[in-house]
Amino acid sequence: MNPVKSETIVQHEDTYHCQLLLQMGDGCYAIEDFEQARSYYGQAALLDADSAGPYVGLGMLEYQNENLEDAELAFKVACRLDRQCSKGYLGMAMVAHKKDNYGYAFDMYLRSIECDSDNLMALLGLFQTSCKMGTFENIIRYLDHYLQSHQGDTSVMSCLASLYIRDNKFSLAKSMLDRILAIDPEDEVAVNLLEEVEYNLSRLNGGNSR
C-alpha cells in the first residue's frame, strides 16, 4: 500500500470521526447532558487537533457554567485554528458582553457577522450591544442585508423598526411594523410600537397619518 495514500485515508477517517463526535456532542448539549457533551468534544479535539469545532463546543460548555475565562480561552483557540470561525468570534463576543465589555463585544459580533452574514445570534447581539453603547452606525445595513434573505424573520424586523423610530423615520418604521403584523397579528410589541408610530406620523402630517 502506498504510504502517502494510507496517511491520506487515515486523515479522512479522523476528520469523519471528529465530525461524528461533534454531532454527538452537540446533541448532548441540546438536551443539557453537559458532561457527556464535554466527553465527546474532548475526544474530537484529540482526534483532530486542527479542528475549531471541538473548542467552540467546549467554550459553550464553559460559558453555560459561567466559567467565562475558560470559555474565552476555548473560543480564542477556535479562532486561532480557523480565522473564519464565526461561532468562535460569536462566543468571544458573548463572553465580553457578559463582562459588560461592550466595545470588544461589538467588534467580535461584527467579526462573526463578517464571517457568516446569516449568523442571527451575532446580528441580534450586535444590535443589543449597540443599544448599550448608544451607537448604531451601520447596524441598519447589516439588519437589512440579513432580512433580504430571511424575509419572515420578525425579530430582525422589530430591531429595524426600533432603529427607524429612534431616527424619526416613522414611515419606514410603520412599513416594517405592518410587515410584522401581517405575519403575526397578535405581536403585542409591534401593536404598541405601531400606535406610537402612527401618533407621530399624525402629529407630523397635521393630523393625517395616511
Instruction: Give the model confidence (pLDDT) of 101-150 as tens digits.
Output: 999 999 999 999 999 989 999 999 999 999 888 888 778 889 998 999 99
- The per-residue pLDDT of the chain, averaged, comes to 90
Q: What is the pLDDT of residue 15?
A: 76
Fold of 136-210: 1.25.40
Q: How many beta carbons lie within 10 A of that of residue 84, not counting itself? A: 12
pTM value is 0.82
CA–CA distance, 47 with 13 (Å, rounded to integer): 10
Q: Is the dihedral of CA 158, 160, 161, 167 positive or negative?
A: positive
Say what percent of the chain tops pLDDT 90. Answer: 76
Residue in 60, 58, 64 with CA at minimum distance from that of residue 45 = 58
